Chains A and B, each alone.
Chain A
Amino acid sequence: MKQRATVLLGSAFVALAALAFAATRVIAADKVDPVADAKAFQNFFFQKFPNVKHEDFVNGPYSMNEDMKRQWQEKEEFPPYEFALDAGKEMFSTPFKNGKTYADCFPNGGIGIRQNYPYFDEKEGKVVTLELALNRCREANGEAPYSYVKDEMASLTAYMAYTSRGKPMDIKIPDDPRALAAYENGKRYFYTRRGQMNFSCASCHVQSPGERIRAETLAPALGILNAMPIYRSEWSGMGTTSRRFVTCNSQTRAVPLEPQSDEYRDVEYFLSYVANGLPISGPGARP
């Protein structure tokens, strides 16, 4: 009798231990590991499109097949974003009313630094995107902020991207639980289905890149921000990252967020981090 009880107790203990072990294992598997994440993310696309050169993924829909690639090369001969580039350069070098310039707000005078955005600001405890940093620079110098979805912001980011072309995306996640949480939050948003159509960002840009949705070829999620901002014939103008996020949400009948809301900032952090190592190609031109 006594022996039986001990056996029972013993097996209960073993079961408990096994449970505890399983629990830690689950936690371990669930623990955010951005390095492993990014590797798996990149490999998914490399394997799905074995014929696409790794550095070509940054050309959005144009990376998806030879015909598209030819179209892209033709476009690059007379790039439709040139006017924005010129405007951006001009704006960048024109002093604010107080005599300062954008260059005073950024490392290296703002030249060749696009690949470091967004970054996690440990003082604020949040992700700071390039668009946000530009407007903060304006406000710090007594200027009104620009709309996140209009031409001025696109021109500024176009110029900053252009001076950074070819530099590998280099996003850091500092050793700060809030940074990891921001990354994880962005990833969650990206994979969560929403709206009447029940799409997630991943439905279109992970599950179906290269496929046509009506007449548009879907860009792969890998390197999807490296070419921002983009000129789109459909817009007959430039679009910022903010504009693209809002458009993707509203075109699929999901309620778009405010540009530069925490969640969009986190999505940008996630998408940029998993593109680490791929070159900046912005500004881009799209059909």
Chain B
Amino acid sequence: MTVFPCKPALLIALALIAGTAPARAQSNVAAGEKLAFDRGKGNCLTCHVIKGGDLPGTIGPELKDIKAKYPDRDELFAIIFDETKRNPQTMMPPFGRNRILTEQEINAIVDFLQTL
């Protein structure tokens, strides 16, 4: 009798844990896409073709098959944070170093890039 009422609660808790992980990832991906496309934020379309985005520029390479090319998300984070570290001549703005995007925002964009 004392155990029984706990069971549904436990189940609910378990279901919540199981459910929130993908739910949060989902919303991070959506937020990342929004940030990447937003002209006042990432504005990545200025230079990159990205699936789902309008009027892309051609300065950078098309962003696709990202997970295959950069399996390590830290590397992606670093590219967005400050690509001049890898390539001092790059056109790509140092989004993290120059505080155009916060670390949290960059993480969301990384989540989005990994779906491309």
Query: Is the pairing of A and B real?
Result: yes
A interface list, Cβ under 8 A from B:
196-199, 203-204, 207-208, 211-215
B94 and A198 contacting across the interface, CB-CB below 8 Å: yes
How far apart are the CA atoms of A111 and B99 in the complex, in Å?
Answer: 50
Q: Which of A196, A203, A204, A215 contacts B55 (CB 8 A)?
A: A215
B100 and A208 contacting across the interface, CB-CB below 8 Å: no
B59 and A211 contacting across the interface, CB-CB below 8 Å: yes
A214 and B46 contacting across the interface, CB-CB below 8 Å: yes
A196 and B58 contacting across the interface, CB-CB below 8 Å: no
How far apart are the CA atoms of A131 and B47 in the complex, in Å?
Answer: 34
Q: Indicate whether A211 sits within 8 Å of B93 (C-beta atoms), given known contacts A196-B100, A198-B84, A198-B98.
A: no
Q: Indicate whether A211 sits within 8 Å of B58 (C-beta atoms), given known contacts A196-B100, A198-B94.
A: yes
Contacts of A199 in B (CB 8 A): 91, 93
B45 and A214 contacting across the interface, CB-CB below 8 Å: yes
Number of chain B residues close to chain A: CB under 8 A: 16
B89 at the binding interface (Cβ < 8 Å): yes
Contacts of A213 in B (CB 8 A): 46-47, 57, 59
A208 and B56 contacting across the interface, CB-CB below 8 Å: no
B interface list, Cβ under 8 A from A:
45-47, 55-59, 84, 89, 91, 93-94, 98-100
Contacts of B98 in A (CB 8 A): 196-198
Q: Which of B59, B84, B93, B94 contacts A208 (CB 8 A)?
A: B59
Q: Which of A198, A212, A214, A215 contacts B93 (CB 8 A)?
A: A198
B57 and A211 contacting across the interface, CB-CB below 8 Å: yes
Q: Which of B47, B56, B93 contacts A196 (CB 8 A)?
A: B93
* Chain B minimum-CB-distance residue to A197: B93
In the complex, how many angstroms separate the beta carbon of A59 from the nearest chain B beta carbon? 20
Contacts of A208 in B (CB 8 A): 59, 91
B58 and A203 contacting across the interface, CB-CB below 8 Å: no
How far apart are the CA atoms of A260 and B43 in the complex, in Å?
Answer: 31
Q: Which of A197, A203, A207, A212 contacts B57 (CB 8 A)?
A: A212
* Chain A minimum-CB-distance residue to B93: A197
* Chain A minimum-CB-distance residue to B98: A196
How far apart are the CA atoms of A7 and B86 in the complex, in Å?
Answer: 46
How far apart are the CA atoms of A198 and B57 in the complex, in Å?
Answer: 18
How far apart are the CA atoms of A214 and B59 in the complex, in Å?
Answer: 9
* Chain A minimum-CB-distance residue to B47: A213
28 residue pairs of the A-B complex, CB under 8 angstroms, read A196-B93, A196-B98, A196-B99, A197-B93, A197-B98, A198-B93, A198-B98, A199-B91, A199-B93, A204-B91, A207-B89, A207-B91, A208-B59, A208-B91, A211-B57, A211-B58, A211-B59, A212-B56, A212-B57, A212-B59, A213-B46, A213-B59, A214-B45, A214-B55, A214-B56, A214-B57, A215-B55, A215-B57
